[in-house]
Amino acid sequence: MFYITDDIKYVGVDDLDLDLFEGQYKVPNGVSYNSYVCFDKKRAVFDTVDDRKTDEWLKNLNVALSGATPDYLIVSHVEPDHSASIPAFLKAYPSATVVGNEKTFLLIKRFYGDIASNKLTVSEGDELNLGKHVLTFAFAPMVHWPEVMATYDKTDCVLFSADAFGKFGALSHNEPWLDEARRYYINIVGKYGNPVQSVLKKVSALKINAICPLHGPVLNENLDYYIEKYALWSSYTPEEDGVFIAFASIYGNTASTAQKLAQELEKRGIKVELADLARSDIAWAVAQAFKYSKLVVASITYDAGVMPCAEAFINKLKTKNYSNRKVAFIQNGSWAPVSAKLMRSAFESFKNITFCNTTVTVNSALDGLAQTQVLSLADELAD
Ligand code: FEO
């Protein structure tokens, strides 16, 4: 537990042994479920935690409150990683008023029944006066559920941003923000670029000293850096000029062709990153694809289709609205290579994708003709 300002304290918990976040994302360094308390004439708790950590969180809260009773529980987001301890909280502090919007209470009822006897339903821009601190509410629908709302403390200029600006990784790991924040954003919120842009517009009007997300570290310096990353990600704009090469290989020939292309690009001074889709975390590969301005997908032809891990990668890119990039393909097939045609057809349904003229076709192993195509593709990508 630590103080963010004189009156606002972190009371969240780390979860270091969760196997999959949201039942699908690997979190090798765990995750934090953040919760905060604002101490004033009235005391407000900001969000609860996943039920894996209810007891630890209630203990933190109890220690932080030193025998005092919380007056409000502000619910930014009803996804169970933040709401599952609401029933236990209300059992411990039955007099507390739960603060949310209409959708918040609808979802609480669906998950936990009609458990909130004291409710305060707020609308966009409403204020809640705690004494010295005045809180105001800004709705952030679909960032990343429909009921999500941010809370701004006008007194200390602290933004409680719900899932926005969060990252994978427990606080005790204290790792750099960017890579795991990108993997978190692209995979969890990435589909909802327009709603994020709307929230960023609201945020731009505020003076902010600290951002308190529901996962990951409290951000309290160089805030423009984080806001700028969100502006890029939510507008589907590449962060870096460079090429991400994602390959799916069986006997190594597609992999070595992808590696040959990477070498040729590096010779031309182009930043390049490679991923073996069969062995990489697809969520990471998707996030890295968003990082760069250009993408090459290399796949063997398999069952007259695309290698399943490459197909899953492309499908996930589609779900996350991958757009505004240049894309090229490497295909392999010993008797009937069709994977490039199929991959291109999938990308044709994406928004604002341009295709390289060159497609590399490997017939089993990298021969002279395919080598020439690799050089040609490298020139095109470097242009
Ligand atoms: Fe961390 Fe959308 O919940």
pLDDT digits (tens, 9 = 90+) for 296-349: 999 999 999 999 999 999 999 999 999 999 999 999 999 999 999 999 999 999
8 Cα to the center of ligand 1, angstroms: 22
- Residue bearing the CA closest to ligand 1, atom 3: 79
pLDDT digits (tens, 9 = 90+) for 96-155: 999 999 999 999 999 999 998 999 999 999 999 999 999 999 999 998 899 999 999 999
Q: Which residue has the tokens 């529901």?
A: 214
pLDDT digits (tens, 9 = 90+) for 241-285: 999 999 999 999 999 999 999 999 999 999 999 999 999 999 999
144 Cα to the center of ligand 1, angstroms: 7
- pLDDT at residue number 281: 96
Give the containing element (helix H, strand E) for 242: strand 240-248
Rg value, the chain, Cα: 24
232 Cα to the center of ligand 1, angstroms: 21
Q: What is the mean pLDDT of the chain?
A: 96
Percentage of the chain exceeding pLDDT 70? 100
353 Cα to the center of ligand 1, angstroms: 30
Backbone angles phi, psi at 97, to 5 degrees: -95, 130
**In this structure, what token pair is assigned to residue 364?**
């089993």
250 Cα to the center of ligand 1, angstroms: 37
**Interior angle at CA 267, CA 265 and CA 268, nearest 5:** 65
Q: Report the C-alpha gap between 289 and 168 in whole angstroms.
A: 18
Percentage of the chain exceeding pLDDT 90? 96
Q: Average pLDDT of 41-62? A: 98
373 Cα to the center of ligand 1, angstroms: 45
The ligand 1 atom nearest the CA atom of 144: 2
The ligand 1 atom nearest the CA atom of 214: 1
Q: Average pLDDT of 149-166? A: 96
Q: Tell whether the torsion through CA atoms of 25, 29, 30 and 32 is positive or negative.
A: negative
333 Cα to the center of ligand 1, angstroms: 42
The ligand 1 atom nearest the CA atom of 148: 2
196 Cα to the center of ligand 1, angstroms: 14
State the pTM of this model.
Answer: 0.95
- pLDDT at residue number 203: 87
77 Cα to the center of ligand 1, angstroms: 7
163 Cα to the center of ligand 1, angstroms: 5
Q: What residues are in contact with ligand 1 under a 6 Å CB criterion?
A: 77, 79, 81-82, 144-145, 163, 214-215
78 Cα to the center of ligand 1, angstroms: 8
- pLDDT at residue number 353: 98
The ligand 1 atom nearest the CA atom of 145: 2
Is 166's pLDDT higher than 90? yes
- pLDDT at residue number 144: 81
The ligand 1 atom nearest the CA atom of 189: 2
- pLDDT at residue number 187: 97
Is 18's pLDDT higher than 90? yes
- pLDDT at residue number 1: 79
Q: How far is CA 340 from CA 94, 259, 305, 334, in A?
A: 61, 18, 9, 14
Q: Report the C-alpha gap between 58 and 39 in whole angstroms.
A: 16
Q: Report the C-alpha gap between 149 and 179 in whole angstroms.
A: 25
Distance of CA 140 to the CA centre of its chain: 15
The ligand 1 atom nearest the CA atom of 79: 3
- pLDDT at residue number 214: 97
Where would I find the H helices in the chain?
54-65, 80-83, 86-92, 102-112, 178-184, 193-204, 223-234, 253-267, 282-291, 308-319, 339-347, 368-382
